[in-house]
Amino acid sequence: MLMDQNTGGIEDLLFNKARTFNKWHERTVSDAQLHALYELVKMGPTSGNCLPARFYFVKSKEAKDRLAPALSRGNLEKTMTAPVTAIVAYDSEFYEKLPQLFPHADARSWFTSSPSLAEETAFRNSSLQGAYLILAARLIGLDAGPMSGFKSDVVDAAFFADTPIKSNFLVNLGYGDPSGNFDRLPRLAFEEAAAIL
Ligand SMILES: Cc1cc2nc3c(=O)[nH]c(=O)nc-3n(C[C@H](O)[C@H](O)[C@H](O)COP(=O)(O)O)c2cc1C
């Protein structure tokens, strides 16, 4: 969906009319667009400003071929044809940057003393940052197709061997062709999913 086709407000662009895309127009996404995307994503909040997510924009044929063996069968074609596939990953040693990112406290020590807290924090906040990526993509006129159907150990071996980086999920990015969309699925009503206490 192109931004100039959206006649509704920002709530339509980001939520009400936004869809998860499975099919892509043959229209490239520039490196400048990916930089613009990151400039928005980086501003989304994370606990203690820890910013654990790392984004790897898989664009070249060589990198796509490296990603392919990790994908579930249902995710293969849409990922190989997407202009870009973002690997939303996290740095499991994100706390090494806390003296820079959260300088007014010794936040690094909160995590070096508790590997389980470090892992939980990295996974929680990188997942949030992946959600910011989806919404920021929509805001700048791109479409997104998030995926968890892949083998993270295969991605990690292919892209992040001997590093502290681990994959969380994938997001195809480009200009979506709605002919590949599934029917919109129901959502839970407020009463089913929320409560005011
Ligand atoms: C974290 C995450 C993982 C997903 N994994 C897959 C996947 O592996 N394959 C797939 O076809 N769709 C996947 N989806 C797409 C969801 O099924 C889709 O976003 C949901 O049904 C809502 O669709 P809609 O945005 O078009 O309403 C995933 C979505 C998210 C957010």
Residue 190 in domain: no
Residue 41 in domain: yes
Residue 77 in domain: yes
Q: How long is the chain?
A: 197
**CATH of residue 81:** 3.40.109.10
Structural domain for 92, as ranges = 24-178
155 and 70 Cβ atoms separated by less than 8 Å:
yes
Residue 153 in domain: yes
Whole-number mean pLDDT of the chain?
96
Total tally of structural domains belonging to the chain? 1
What is the per-residue pLDDT for 38? 99
Residue 11 in domain: no
pLDDT reading at 7 higher than 90: no
21 and 176 Cβ atoms separated by less than 8 Å:
yes
38-69 pLDDT tens trace = 999 999 999 999 999 999 999 999 999 999 99
Q: Whose CA is nearest to atom 14 of ligand 1?
A: 147
Residue 144 in domain: yes
Residue 184 in domain: no
Compute the distance from residue 147 Cα to the ligand 1 centre, in Å.
Answer: 6
Q: Report if pTM > 0.85.
A: yes
115-174 pLDDT tens trace = 999 999 999 999 999 999 999 999 999 999 999 999 999 999 999 999 999 999 999 999
Q: Select from 148, 167, 177, 188 the residue to mutate for testing ligand 1; criterion: most ligand atoms less than 8 Å from CB.
A: 148
